[in-house]
Amino acid sequence: MAKAKSTTKKVSKISVPSQIINSLSSSSLQSLLLSPKKSAKKKANFFTFSTFTSPKFWLLFLFIFCILGTLALMGFSHIVPIIPFSPKPCLISQNEELISSISSVSVMKVVEESEKNHGAFEKIEEESEFWKQPDGMGFRPCLTFSREYEKTSGFVLKDRSKYLMVVVSGGMNQQRNQIVDAVVIARILGAALVVPILQVNVIWGDESEFSDIFDLEHFKRVLADDVRVVSSLPSTHLMSRPVEEKRTPLHASPQWIRQHYLRRFNRDGVLLLRGLDSRLAKDLPLDLQKLRCKVAFHALRFAPQILELGNKIGERMRSMGRYLALHLRMEKDVWVRTGCLPGLSPEHDLVINEERKQRPELLTARSNMTYHERKLAGLCPLNAMEVTRLLKALGAPKSTRIYWAGGLPFGGKEALLPLIKEFPHFYNKEDLALHGELEPFANSSSVMAAIDYIVSEQSDVFMPSHGGNMGRAIQGHRAYAGHRKYITPNKRQMLPYFLNSSLAKAEFNTIIKDLHRDSLGQPDFRTNKADRDVTKYPVPACMCNRTTAL
């Protein structure tokens, strides 16, 4: 009970969000927040016994109780700070200044509640055509090997005279490709494969070993019927000087490999191969194509600690709803190697041009083409503005949650502003990881790439801003998993329309959708396309339906 003789004027204090403030009239707020104007004498006698027996008192008590209960049910009971209102609480400008003192945590909770209240609107957007998956035409993994292959396996696994050592280079996804080829070459030669050596990456300084990135025991177990995988050379071959081969030609056939390497194997017992990137022919006998798929989609599983963290981050994205994984190829080295410009500013373009002049060996694009020629030929990565326009034209709703994979773009996060402005639900692994989760892997670019791979592969939709090893690997992986949606930007055909400012928005969107109707992850047959990798196009060699059973 309040002190009866106190003459101090008391002001009630309550934390109320601005939405509630604006919905109440001035008289209502005055009656709730300020004591009624009475004489000091009446104030002293206010709390008497008759007060508690008065119906008016209980009506007022019930009214205040209902108001506070309503605020609690609306989710505002968690707002802790006490906001002292002025005698004129309906002045909006003053109240906005007071509301701004609420802690950021409270504001976030209010925003979360607001988003829940808009769930119906979000659901409508979620059901948009953008999330529709392609027709997989009933294709499923189909890795049944021939009897001849199974018969030969017995001789391959028993052989103890030949050991193949390989050194793989590049980034994690490039190393994956070379490991796949190393297994196939070992099978062709009937040799045991020593666990591949990962060369220290010159650009990122990553010193990871095979078992740091991949599950070695799983790798051995899955391939136990195809190739014998050993952790190191046996004692019988430790003194052998491995014959090193650096001149494997592009698109080497199984016949070429046997002809050039078997004689050395019979003489020395150990062969060391380097520079395997894209050396093995893409067009191989069917059993070897299936072996490629078996390595890429089954044997090469990430190490348990990486898989656990990648799955956690993927689950955090999934908990917010469907999401798009976007592989952004906007790092400085990408602009330099492709001979393209980021287009952020003249100063940024100058930096890239100077870097390219100082290190011309980095340029992997056609050197006789100008930047504009490369751009129109579809050889340049899409920048943030172009990615934004493409996604909007394809029907991505503003509520789309985006996981962006890749390194920090040249120009920092400012280079991503067009995307963030249009699609505010924009996250990467650093945003989603808890404090300290990524710290053990801070110096391993391969682990970071592996986490991006896991979260991207699990997404509802995937799109790369430029071709590359990761994009190709995930394209094949998503096809093998049932042809989950994969957007391949049709850069060569769409860029002229990007430059045409006279096109109306509706017309532009229609054109872009038409250009991509066949580029959304539908089954794409590799048949009669010798330059295509089966791990990117697994139909029909590694996948079949009732009409294409092999």
Q: What is the pTM of this model?
A: 0.76
Distance CA 174, CA 198 (A): 11
pLDDT of residue 117: 39
Distance CA 393, CA 400 (A): 13
With a cut of 70, say whether residue 8 has pLDDT above it: no
Residue with tokens 């802690």: 103
With a cut of 60, say whether residue 21 has pLDDT above it: no
Beta bridge partners of 117: none
Q: How far is CA 159 from CA 12, 150, 153, 266, 299, in A?
A: 88, 15, 10, 12, 22
Reference 407, options 332, 310, 337; nearest CA is 332
Helices 172-189 & 445-457, crossing angle to 10 degrees? 90
With a cut of 60, say whether residue 390 has pLDDT above it: yes
74-88, 192-206, 285-299, 348-362: the lowest-pLDDT one = 74-88
Report residue 425's pLDDT band, with 50, 70 and 90 as the boundaries. very high
With a cut of 70, say whether residue 279 has pLDDT above it: yes
With a cut of 70, say whether residue 93 has pLDDT above it: no
With a cut of 50, say whether residue 505 has pLDDT above it: yes
Mean pLDDT throughout 303-316?
A: 97
* Higher pLDDT among residues 482 and 467, named by residue: 482
Report residue 53's pLDDT band, with 50, 70 and 90 as the boundaries. low
With a cut of 90, say whether residue 474 has pLDDT above it: yes
265-278 pLDDT, tens per residue? 888 889 999 888 88
101-160 pLDDT, tens per residue? 323 333 233 234 334 434 444 455 445 799 999 999 999 999 999 999 999 999 999 999
> Which parts of 282-424 are beta strand (E)?
323-327, 401-405
pLDDT of residue 242: 66
* DSSP secondary structure string for all residues of 132-198: PPP--TT-EE--PPPHHHHHHHHHHHH--S-EEEEEE-SSHHHHHHHHHHHHHHHHHHT-EEEPPEE
With a cut of 50, say whether residue 231 has pLDDT above it: yes
